[in-house]
Structure 1
Amino acid sequence: MTHRDHKSVVVVGGGQAGLSVSYYLTQEGLDHVVLERHQKFHSWRINRWDTFCLVTPNWQCRLPDFAYQGDDPDGFMVKDEITEYLDAFAQTFNPPIIEECEVTKITRRPDGCYFVDSSQGNFSADQVVIATGGYDNPIVPPFADQLDPSILQMHSVDYRRPEQMPEGATLVVGTGQSGVQLMEDMHLKGRDVHLAVGPAPRAPRRYRGRDSTDWLHDMGHYAITIAQHPNPEHAVTKTNHYMTGRDGGHEIDLRKFATEGVSLYGSVSGMEGKKIQFLPDLETNLDDADESYVGIRNAIDAHIEKHNIDAPSEPAFKKLWRPKQEITEIDCEKEGITSVLWAIGFRPNYSWIDVDVFDDHGRPVYDRGVCQQDGFYFIGLGWLNTWGSGRFLGIDEDSRFLVEQITAKAKSELKAAS
């Protein structure tokens, strides 16, 4: 039989979620190991562009017993500052992490023990926490293969700076937080940018004297749990509102970029040769994004009025630009487009988990991260419990809760065995 190093808990993933769990496991004195495929905080350290910064203010960085202590709580840490913050957190407790260790398979024995196979040895565990996040496989549609190979295609995970892209124009596909920020990154460098606008909502950055996230926090928006949400399925699948923390933070109005020369289209629907097709949904997508934007402003207005808060007024929202027509096809050669930058997200990869914890669509099933398979957990996913679950804001609460469940199970089994 293969030798296995036994641990009470194996945590798979050495990002902020996995190490937050490790922190509380250490506090409880539970023997465990964290297995990280690359190096700790790899995604923050490696998979980010040069000008990357947080979208949420620094005050929302609340790792276990290690909240942001810098002198700019309302600012937005840039890439190096984020990794410095994370590394400093790890140094507070010296986690038992094995880096460059890829987990290749997890199975559950009939007796309830978990077997964890990895590139650096095999383990057995009473309990397992999956903290690998949902950013494993970059999404690129199948029809991308039909685009002329002379046009460079890159995914946002590989983008670092505008100079990577060949001379000529770039089509950025996707208007989630990454897509709009990469579009702006190139636009500010004077590059010719085209943008395929998807259905992502947008949000104000500052409104009536404060960052909108400050207002939403005070309004209890971030405390709403998925169990309390009126439309849980919509919450889990909804794209994040786009804005940016760049240069002190500002909102992103795609209509404004259109007035500055960025060419806007609807959602990409197909590619063939040097032709790219779009759905005629540009105006709808812009209007829907603005509806979300105005809805947040209105909610803040109502909160201010209800609590009689003294706050400066704001001018009414106005649409700066409207498309004259819906363009449904372009010729890259005529438009000078030499590259396409995909920013339409990622899919998780759980093919290495051979444990009955998934639904028919391959999505993990849990309640606050606790699976029906005894001793199996997930953490670090959006809306695990609240909006902040996949972010710095909610990771402390989520990790503390999971470790409470893990500790209770460990103590119960210890008592039963004695």
Structure 2
Amino acid sequence: MTADTMSIDTLVVGAGQAGVAMSEHLSKLGVPHLVLERDRIAERWRTGRWDSLVANGPAWHDRFPGLEFDDLDADAFAPKERVADYFEAYARKFDAPVRTGVEVTSVVRNTGRAGFTVETTKGVFDANRVVVATGPFQRPVIPPIAPKDGRLTQIHSADYRNPAQLPDGGVLVVGAGSSGVQIADELQRAGKKVYLSVGPHDRPPRAYRNRDFCWWLGVLGEWDKEAATPGKEHVTIAVSGARGGHTVDFRRLAHQGITLVGLTKTFDGDTVSFESDLAINIARGDENYLALLDAADAYIARNGFDLPEEPDARRMLPDPDCVTQPLHELDLAQAGVTSIVWATGYAVDYDWLHVDAFDAKGKPQHQRGVSKEPGVYFLGLPWLARRGSTFIWGVWHDAKHIADHIATQRKYQSYRAPVQRDGEKPRNKALADARDQSQVQQVNELGVN
């Protein structure tokens, strides 16, 4: 360690919802720490999504326990800028030690001594622990089947902002999770001809019998499920808070003017081919939808709740022609399609994290965020501890578990055989107090903001 290296007990990488939650719990436990963020707090909410995006859960649900959206109705869906403002306000609420404009470029375990050397664009840190709070949305993924020529405008949903961004002509939207469905709907309402490629998905009701689906998943214990159903680990969820919130209905989208097609298979020149799975995917989405209605009805009957019945929720529109007579191929040029929006998800990127925390496929190995590499933690990943781990409230609870683990480890590591004289503070406590005070002073000298 050089003279210019700054020492800190715990370094948190990322100041999105995960990093802010982590900082709150560490602060409550008195753990000296610093949060490094390459952009601004909650930057992905501001600039990493389309203009009209709102939270997919209502304001009463998609928040931390310590602060409400005081300017929104509890059942409203917060616009993305308001969500970003919320996290900035939350960080100010407990004076989070966040330093923005700092990118972490390398984390390496120290040799012959505890902790890690962390290189950043603003200097080197020596940290006893590192919390990776960068979340799951790090690197947009466009599948290798994408056309390689420049005849089509191709963007990932991470780079889509609004319909005016795309050239004149039709659009193929690939991916029918929450992002793909909302973008396709927006483009069609803006007057564009839209083809929506629909793969396997879950399709919960936005609300049922006067309760939002977030409430239903809570009382039914679905948020706390600790493992995904085998075979459905990567199935997307089609739900929307747009325009006040509504249930995603693929038949309604088709009757509205969107042409539904199956899973996108290959491109050959101007021709794109689709799997023959559209009707199956729609039917399985219906099964998921109806299963939740059945579970909700059973819960109401079991508990004697007085919630209004909703028979219309079970009525389905007739299958549109694009489902009964699906397209297997489409000549994009003849159809006037000039753009493709790839709503095909994200991959994590840990090229900067040079530690033994991954399996052979590069997937983090952990138990509830506690990595197999001692001193390294992961936060904000799907199914980190439960189904709700990537949601705002879920990441807050996961962060508490990790912070408690860190605090416990600090107690063990601060132990020294007690050697003291009458009237003296125990040596191990004195050393711990001195070390913590020194680290707090170092953090203050960094000029955190």
Question: Equivalent residue for 2:278?
Answer: 282
Structure 2 residue 301 is matched with structure 1 residue 300: no
Question: Equivalent residue for 1:251?
Answer: 247
CA positional deviation for 1:95: 1.9
Partner-residue secondary structure (3-state), 2:366: coil
Unmatched 5+ stretches in structure 2: 418-427, 429-449
Partner-residue secondary structure (3-state), 1:349: coil
Whether the 8 Å contact between 1:388 and 1:395 is mirrored in structure 2 is: yes
Structure 2 residue 260 is matched with structure 1 residue 264: yes
Whether the 8 Å contact between 2:41 and 2:84 is mirrored in structure 1 is: no
Counterpart-to-counterpart distance in 2, 1:108 and 1:27: 27
Counterpart-to-counterpart distance in 2, 1:60 and 1:238: 24
Whether the 8 Å contact between 2:370 and 2:402 is mirrored in structure 1 is: yes
Counterpart-to-counterpart distance in 2, 1:256 and 1:25: 47
Whether the 8 Å contact between 2:12 and 2:133 is mirrored in structure 1 is: yes
Whether the 8 Å contact between 2:261 and 2:326 is mirrored in structure 1 is: yes
Question: Equivalent residue for 2:115?
Answer: 113
Question: Equivalent residue for 2:377?
Answer: 377
Question: Equivalent residue for 1:366?
Answer: 366
Question: Equivalent residue for 1:402?
Answer: 402
Counterpart-to-counterpart distance in 1, 2:416 and 2:37: 33
Query: CA-to-partner distance for each residue in 1:55-100, whole Å, 9 max, x for gaps?
Result: 1111113325224444511111112221221121111122222222
Whether the 8 Å contact between 2:59 and 2:72 is mirrored in structure 1 is: no
Counterpart-to-counterpart distance in 2, 1:287 and 1:64: 38
One of 124, 127, 145 as aligned partner of 1:125: 127
CA positional deviation for 1:54: 0.9
Counterpart-to-counterpart distance in 2, 1:403 and 1:67: 23
Query: CA-to-partner distance for each residue in 1:186-241, whole Å, 9 max, x for gaps?
Result: 122222111111112111112122222222222222233x1xx4x56556x23342
The range that moved more, 322-331 or 404-413, is: 322-331
CA positional deviation for 1:122: 0.8
The range that moved more, 385-394 or 56-65, is: 56-65
Question: What RMSD, in angstroms, separates the aligned Cα atoms of the two structures?
Answer: 1.7
Counterpart-to-counterpart distance in 2, 1:240 and 1:26: 35
Partner-residue secondary structure (3-state), 2:414: helix
Question: Equivalent residue for 2:137?
Answer: 135
CA positional deviation for 1:391: 1.0
Question: Equivalent residue for 2:424?
Answer: none
Whether the 8 Å contact between 1:62 and 1:394 is mirrored in structure 2 is: no
Counterpart-to-counterpart distance in 1, 2:24 and 2:18: 10
Name the amino acid aligned to 2:137: Y
Whether the 8 Å contact between 2:25 and 2:403 is mirrored in structure 1 is: yes
Name the amino acid aligned to 1:221: E
Question: Equivalent residue for 2:187?
Answer: 186
Name the amino acid aligned to 1:129: V
Counterpart-to-counterpart distance in 2, 1:288 and 1:130: 36
Whether the 8 Å contact between 1:174 and 1:342 is mirrored in structure 2 is: yes
Query: CA-to-partner distance for each residue in 1:89-128, whole Å, 9 max, x for gaps?
Result: 1111222222221111111124331111111111111111
Counterpart-to-counterpart distance in 1, 2:347 and 2:243: 30
Whether the 8 Å contact between 1:133 and 1:379 is mirrored in structure 2 is: yes
Change (3 A) 1:369 1:33: same
Change (3 A) 1:290 1:162: same
Name the amino acid aligned to 2:301: E
Query: CA-to-partner distance for each residue in 1:381-404, whole Å, 9 max, x for gaps?
Result: 121112221111212211111111
Whether the 8 Å contact between 2:200 and 2:236 is mirrored in structure 1 is: no
Counterpart-to-counterpart distance in 2, 1:306 and 1:182: 39
Matches within 5 A, 1:13-24: 13-24=14-25
Partner-residue secondary structure (3-state), 1:51: coil
Counterpart-to-counterpart distance in 2, 1:262 and 1:305: 38
Counterpart-to-counterpart distance in 2, 1:50 and 1:383: 28
Change (3 A) 1:74 1:172: same
Counterpart-to-counterpart distance in 2, 1:341 and 1:62: 30
CA positional deviation for 1:312: 2.0
Query: CA-to-partner distance for each residue in 1:260-292, whole Å, 9 max, x for gaps?
Result: 221111011111221111111111111111111
